[in-house]
Structure 1
Amino acid sequence: MAAGKRVVVVGAGVAGLTTAVVLAEVGVLVHVIAEEVPGFTSLAAGAMWGPYLVEPKDKVDQWGQRSLEVFRRLAEDPATGVRLTSGIEASRTAEAPPDWATTLPGFRPCELAELPAGFSAGYRFTVPLIDMPTYLDYLLRRLDAAGGTVERRRLASLAAAGPATVIVNCTGLGAKDLLPDPDLRPIRGQHVVVTNPGLTEFFSEDTGLSSDLLCFYPHGSTVVLGGTAIDGEGGLAPDDAATASILARCAEVEPRLAAARVLAHRIGARPTRAAVRVESDRQEEDAVVVHNYGHGGAGVTLSWGCAAEVRGMLADK
């Protein structure tokens, strides 16, 4: 895309901010419009790199690998909130490891003695962990340094985002009503943030399609415990019963967490559809519209790859 063109990115979650950074750093005049800065659902993420129940697989693999390369570079700077961390993903049913995990550094099957009681298989690897409040602040600083601007405003339509040469729709679940997109649905996620009793490694259970997740991600003085994945629910109020269940599941695997003090609750609604939507759609007034939403629980994992695809789509605009 020619330098000097004005692009409006709608949405300030991880997809929107990453896309804005990628475009601003090649000389595009980028203006972000969002009701929440940064986006509430992105703030609620755990977050560990790894494709999570998202399609289409061929594109997801490409986007995820591109993002992984960037996160590995970002992990060299502690100020980004990204760290390369080792840990275990385990299963109670002896499932084969996900193909994305087998290519990660340090990948190896676990010995049974390494696994918590009740688990029959597990795999150790090293992967980026992202402290989302720190990371989203880093993206905002990086956008500002590249000349991008941010406006807090709720839009009733994409047309209200103009004037612009291009409007990039990164509204996540908001696209359900804004476009509208009837294929988009929420999957409610809840995490609990607690004091860190000394954990340095992550743990994640492969729970398949269950709505009850089990994971813990250490971020220095805190640990993010998860979680839930309740299909069709988008409410953002804390659920005390879910909190108690998350704490119990995590403490069963790591007893040191039983005495950890609860610091915060993080709740978000993952924007989910049959396939991630990254495509040019239609004209809105005099602007080209490009969509980048519907990442489900893999928004962080796919963020840099999807942003690069948007940049490529705009190369001749």
Structure 2
Amino acid sequence: MTTTGRIVIVGGGVTGLTTGVALLEAGLPVHLVSAEIPGPTSVAAGAMWGPYLVEPWSKVRRWSLVSLDVFRALSGDPATGVRMVSGVEAARDAMPAPEWSTLLPDFRECTPEELPAGFQGGHRFTVPLVDMPVYLQYLLRRFQEAGGTVLRRHVSSLDEIDDGSVIVNCAGLGAGELAADKSVRPIRGQHVVVKNPGISEFFSEDTGLSPDLLCIYPHGETAVLGGTAIDGEASLQEDPVAAQAIVERCAAVEPRLVNAEVVGSRIGARPTRPEVRVEADSRLDGIPVFHNYGHGGSGVTLSWGCAEEIVQLVTAAR
């Protein structure tokens, strides 16, 4: 058992990096280990704040609010990639307000004129929109400037970690294997990036549990179009047929996208679990382990709230 006092985080996506920053800024030494930093699933995210098919609500509400406050503050700095953006979420049928609507002061029902053809209900609100490649590089810089160190290495077992007194499991889809947790499953997501034809507001469709999503996230010169949610699929290979269908779905709602130049695709596997796991555990040798995984498609939305809770758990255990 090591006595270095160092915390080792496994996982280089938005959860691992955010947790690392939070621990470092609480005065704790942190070393991050991951095969890819930043992680590909985080890079692939759209990404708009909003609790998306994630439980338990009593905790999700608290975590989401913490992140919302942080993102609002970060939106004042262009270097973070975070902006506050207004837009519409709509549905083909009547659309009840989601549970999280009470967290947004400007949330309101759309007028009929604000809805695209074929949509019967919707809501307008303002939320953080995050340009993930920019934001993840910002997080990595903030992590390293706070004294954090990184090692790009695949970890197949938490028992491999021999240079830390505390381990934090933020390994996304791999976290389930590291924790012997069979409830973790992938939900494959694909986005298409296009040159932005002048769109300034987001649009998303409430598609329920459908594997075919529809969302438009403008990020200055580019726009991220979505998407897919293929349950049980972990492949990160591009699907050209799905990419074409994504563009067509989005162009049917926003005609300016019909001839938009495609820049590329982003593919990730959302680490999904019946409930997000943020809790204390331990290895057989007594080394404390803290889990922070199972965020599904809400990793960005929950990132700062879950990181704050990990800081509290780690601090209480020291």
User: TM range, normalised to the smaller chain?
Assistant: over 0.9
Render the CA deviation track for 1:129-157: whole Å, top value 9, x for unaligned: 00000000000000011100010001121
Residue 254 of structure 1 corresponds to which residue in structure 2? 254
Deviations 1:10-52 (A, max 9, x none): 0010000000000011211100000011011000000000000
Q: CA RMSD in A?
A: 1.1
The answer to whether the Cα contact below 8 Å between 1:164 and 1:286 also exists between their aligned partners in 2 is: no
Partner of 2:89: 89
Pair 1:226-2:226 in alignment: yes
* TM-score scaled by length of structure 2: 0.97
Which residue pairs with 1:12 in the alignment?
Answer: 12
- Spell out the pairing of 1:231-310 with structure 2 (5 A cutoff): 231-283=231-283, 285-310=285-310
In structure 1, the residue matched to 2:72 is 72
For residues 16 and 241 of structure 1, the distance between their equivalents in structure 2, rounded to whole angstroms, comes to 32
For residues 35-91 of structure 1, the C-alpha deviation after alignment (integer angstroms, 9 at most, x for no partner) is 011011000000000000001110001100111010000001110000000000001
Instruction: Please tell me the residue identity of whatever aligns with 1:276.
Output: V
Matched, 1:159 2:159: yes
SS in 2 for 1:259: coil
CA distance in 1, matches of 2:151, 2:218: 33
Q: Distance in 1 between matches of 2:140 and 2:133?
A: 11
Cα offset, 1:102, TM superposition: 4.0
Which whole-Å CA distance do the structure 2 matches of 1:285 and 1:21 have between them? 27
**Which region of structure 1 is more displaced relative to structure 2, 189-198 or 110-119?**
110-119
**Structure 2, unaligned runs of 5 or more:** none
2:124 matched residue in structure 1: 124
Name the aligned partner's letter for residue 109 of structure 1. Answer: E
Alignment correspondent of 2:212? 212
Residue 143 of structure 1 pairs with residue 140 of structure 2: no
> Displacement, 1:284?
5.0
Structure 2 contact 26–311 (Cα < 8 Å) conserved:
no
Q: How many angstroms apart in 2 are the aligned matches of 1:163 and 1:269?
A: 29
* Identical residues among aligned pairs (%): 62
Aligned counterpart, 1:202: 202
Judged with a 3 Å threshold, the aligned counterparts in structure 2 of structure 1 residues 85 and 105 are, in CA distance, closer, same or farther, namely farther
Q: 1: CA distance between counterparts of 2:286 and 2:140?
A: 28
* Structure 1 counterpart of 2:115: 115
- Structure 2 distance, partners of 1:136, 1:44, is 11
Structure 1 residue 309, shift from structure 2 partner? 0.3
Q: Secondary structure at the match of 1:314?
A: helix
SS in 1 for 2:118: coil
Aligned-residue offset at 1:305 = 0.2
**Are the counterparts in 1 of residues 65 and 103 from structure 2 also a CA contact under 8 Å?**
no
1:27-38 equivalences under 5 Å are 27-38=27-38
Counterpart of 1:216, as a letter, is I
Bigger CA drift: 260-269 or 97-106? Answer: 97-106
- Provide the rounded CA distance (Å) in 1 between the counterparts of 2:102 and 2:293: 27
- 1:163-195 per-residue CA deviation (whole Å, 9 max, x = no partner) reads 211100001111232232111100000000000
Instruction: Indicate the residue corresponding to 1:188 in structure 2.
Output: 188
1:305-316 matches, within 5 Å, as: 305-316=305-316
Q: CA deviation at 1:221?
A: 0.1
| 1:51 lines up with 2:51 in the alignment | yes
How far apart, in 1, do the equivalents of 2:127 and 2:101 lie?
A: 9
Equivalent-residue separation in structure 2 for 1:96 and 1:278 (angstroms): 30
SS in 2 for 1:315: helix
Instruction: Return the letter of the residue paired with 2:223.
Output: V
AA aligned to 1:288 is: P
State how far apart, in whole Å, the 2-side matches of 1:26 and 1:198 are: 41
Q: Distance in 2 between matches of 1:267 and 1:284?
A: 36
Q: CA deviation at 1:255?
A: 0.3
**Matched length:** 314
